[in-house]
Amino acid sequence: MTDPWWRDAVVYQVYPRSFADANADGEGDLRGIRARLPYLKDLGVDAVWLSPFYPSPMADSGYDVADYRDVDPRYGTLADFDDLLAAATAADIKVIVDIVPNHCSSAHPWFAEALAAGPGSPERERFIFRDAPNNWQSQFGGPAWTQVADGQWYLHLFDAAQPDWNWRHPDVVALFEETLRFWLDRGVAGFRIDVADMLFKDELLPDTTPPDGVAEQLEWTPAKETPPYKHQKELFPLYRTWREILESYPGDRVMIGEIWLDDQELKREYLAGDGLDQAFNFTFMATPWDAADLRAVIGRSLPLAHAQPWALGNHDVPRAVTRLGIDQALVRNPTAEVLRGEVEVDRALGTRRARAAALLLLALPGSTYIYQGDELGLPEHLTIPDELRQDPMFIRMGGAFIGRDGCRVPMPWAGRRAPYGFADRPVDTWLPQPPDWAELTAEAQQADPGSMLTLYRQALRLRRDHINGAFAWLDTVPDADVLAFTRGEGFACVLNVGEQPVTLPAHLRVLLASEPLDGGVLPPDTAVWLDLAK
CB of 511 to ligand NOJ, least distance (A): 34
Task: Measure the CA–CA gap between 88 and 126, rounded to whole angstroms.
Answer: 36
Question: Does 194 participate in catalysis according to the annotation?
Answer: yes
From start to end of 159-307, where are the E strands? 190-193, 254-257, 278-279
Q: Does residue 165 bind ligand NOJ (CB under 6 A)? A: no
List CB contacts of 474: < 8 A, sequence separation 6 or more.
Answer: 484, 485, 486, 492, 494, 505
For residue 316, state whether it binds ligand NOJ (rule: CB under 6 A).
yes
**Closest to ligand NOJ by CB, 138 or 526:** 138
Residues in contact with ligand NOJ, shown as a per-residue x/- string from 57 to 86 under the rule CB under 6 A: ---x--x-----------------------
195 vs 279, beta carbon nearer ligand NOJ: 195
Residue 286 CB, nearest approach to ligand NOJ (Å): 15
CA dist., res. 88 & res. 76, Å (int): 17
In whole angstroms, how close is the CB of 157 to ligand NOJ at the nearest point?
Answer: 8
Shortest spacing between CB 140 and ligand NOJ, in angstroms: 7
Nearer residue to ligand NOJ within complex by CB, 79 or 215: 215
* 220 CA to centre of own chain: 11
Out of 74, 201, 315, 381, the residue judged to bind ligand NOJ by CB under 6 A = 315
Q: Which residues pair with 97 in a beta bridge?
A: 50, 191
d(CA 259, CA 165): 18
Q: How far apart are CA 329 and CA 255, in angstroms?
A: 34
For residue 260, state whether it binds ligand NOJ (rule: CB under 6 A).
Answer: no
Rg (CA), the chain: 23
Question: Applying CB under 6 A, which of residues 195, 271, 358, 528 lies at the interface with ligand NOJ?
Answer: 195
Q: Kindly identify the residues of this chain, within the stretch 379-438, that bind ligand NOJ according to CB under 6 A.
A: none
Q: Among 194, 277, 374, 515, which residue interacts with ligand NOJ (rule: CB under 6 A)?
A: 194
Kindly state the smallest distance separating residue 446's Cβ from ligand NOJ, in Å. Answer: 30
Alpha-carbon gap, residue 377 to 49, rounded angstroms: 19
**Nearest residue to the partner ligand NOJ, using Cβ:** 63
Q: Whole-angstrom distance between the N-terminal and C-terminal Cα of the chain? A: 29
| Candidates 46, 64, 164, 258; catalytic one | 258
Q: Which helix (H) or strand (E) holds 379?
A: none
Respond yes or no: is residue 258 known to be catalytic. yes
**What minimum distance in Å lies between the beta carbon of 467 and ligand NOJ?**
28
Catalytic residue selected from 72, 164, 194, 380: 194
Give the DSSP per-residue string, 300-364: HHGGGGGGS-EES--TTS--HHHHTTS-GGGTTS--HHHHTT-S---HHHHHHHHHHHHHHHHHS
CB nearer to ligand NOJ: pick between 139 and 526: 139
Choose between 397 and 460: whose C-beta lies nearer to ligand NOJ.
397
| Calpha distance 192→399 (Å, rounded) | 31
Catalytic residues: 194, 258
The residues binding ligand NOJ (CB under 6 A) are: 60, 63, 100, 158, 194-195, 258, 315-316
